[in-house]
Amino acid sequence: MLPQTSLQLREYEMALAHTPVLLDELLELLRPAKGEVAIDCTFGAGGHAEAVAAALGAKGRLIAIDRDPSVAEYFRDVARATRCACELYHGNFAEVLAERDDASADIIYMDLGVSSMQLDRRERGFSYAYDAPLDMRMDPESEVTAAQLVNTLPESELTDIFRRYGEERYAKSIARGISMARRKQPLTTTCELVEIIKRNIPTPARFAAGNPARRVFQALRIVVNDELQSLARGLEEAYRVLRPGGRLAGMSFHSLEDRMVKEFFRGHAAGCICPPGLPQCVCGHEPTLRVLTRRPITPRAQEVEANPRSKSAKLRVAVKL
């Protein structure tokens, strides 16, 4: 049953914020064991971390990373509830991993994209469902906000962002609408942007499945937080610090992220990469990863019903050889 009152709505939002997506599947594939070292690259509210930490035991070690400083309160709860050693690092996971100089991690996993915790905090400006400042920064100390992008970037660049990162069909007309609106006054709130989007798409698209603003918001969030570049570097650094036999998992909610994880795994799992037609291999390339998921793992119907935000999740896991 959907929440009816503001109190019920808040309780519903908090429940979603603490509901880790594909938890059973992640644990089954990563197989965290007592005494191992696990790195959670995107700690969030700690749902995945709490379950992983419980499996590590007293001699295990959990290293949590998140660029959002507000996760500290959730980290304290997880640290108190588990027997393993816990550490929290504030920053971009690619940069934090780059500072590690040894291959000692048994498990590394990434829950990519924006967290429910961030979506439900209206003042952060991630959600098109609430009226809030047009912000979208995962790290509140970062310089660039969504408002700065929509008010300063050329119309052609906004079009490219909406098309490339949001796969928005009406990117050009939306960018034109933003360009015209900001001539009168700067855009400062999420609702202002949503209204411009609605006015600049065909009427049938306004009433199609899902909110018509979701692709533009997604695209702006990706650029504000430099998410795809961070993922590309983060995968390389995670592979470097993973010990042989270690497991690496990427959970994505966007086709571009999933494609990057898929191609990274495929590249390291490939054997000979010589051009077709050569009589024998001359490259000497050998696979360094074994992919455990031939196809991405997706949520079961029961999970999607209980947590609609899990619907687009895709999980891929590989083991280092």
What is the model's pLDDT at position 12?
41
- CB under 8 Å to 160, separation ≥6 — which residues? 171
Q: Report the 10 Å Cβ neighbour count for 74.
A: 23
Which of 16, 188, 249 has the alpha carbon at shortest distance from 114? 16
Q: Do residue 215 and residue 238 come from a single domain?
A: no
Instruction: Evaluate whether residue 70 is within a structural domain.
Output: yes
**By CB neighbour count within 10 A (0-12 exposed, 13-18 middle, 19+ buried), where does 178 fall?**
buried
Query: What is the structure's pLDDT at 118?
Result: 72
Q: Can you give the pTM of this predicted structure?
A: 0.89
Mean pLDDT of the chain: 92
214-224 vs 155-166: helix crossing angle, rounded to 10: 100
Cα–Cα nearest to 65, from 27, 85, 99, 92: 92
Are 215 and 236 in a shared domain?
A: no
Pairing of strands 242-252, 61-66: unpaired
Whether residue 137 lies inside any domain: the answer is no
- Strand, helix or coil for residue 284: coil
User: Would residue 88 count as lying in a domain?
Assistant: yes
pLDDT confidence of residue 259: 97
H-state helical runs in 242-306:
255-269, 301-306
Query: Which of 215, 210, 214 lies closest to 164, judged by CA?
Result: 215
Mean pLDDT for the stretch of residues 17-25: 86
Q: Say yes or no to pLDDT of 8 above 70.
A: no
Statement to judge: residues 93 and 170 lie in one domain: no
- Asked if residue 201 is part of any domain, the answer here is yes
Each residue's pLDDT tens digit, 261-300 = 999 999 999 988 788 878 888 887 899 999 999 999 999 9
Contact 135/187 with Cβ under 8 angstroms?
no
pLDDT at site 173: 98
Per DSSP, the three-state class of 195 is helix
Tokens coding 266: 């495929």
CATH number at residue 175: 1.10.150.170
Find the CATH number of the domain harbouring 284: 3.40.50.150
Q: Say if residue 33 is in the same domain as residue 169.
A: no
The DSSP bridge pattern shows strands 314-320 and 289-291 to be: antiparallel
Domain span at 286: 6-117+227-320
Question: For 177-199, how does the pLDDT look when each residue is reduced to its tens digit (9 = 90+)?
Answer: 999 999 999 999 999 999 999 99
Read off the pLDDT band of 18 (50, 70, 90).
low
Helix pair 227-241, 255-269: axis angle to 10 deg: 30
User: Would you say 166 and 218 are in contact if contact means Cβ atoms under 8 Å apart?
Assistant: yes
Q: Are 26 and 46 in contact (CB under 8 A)?
A: no
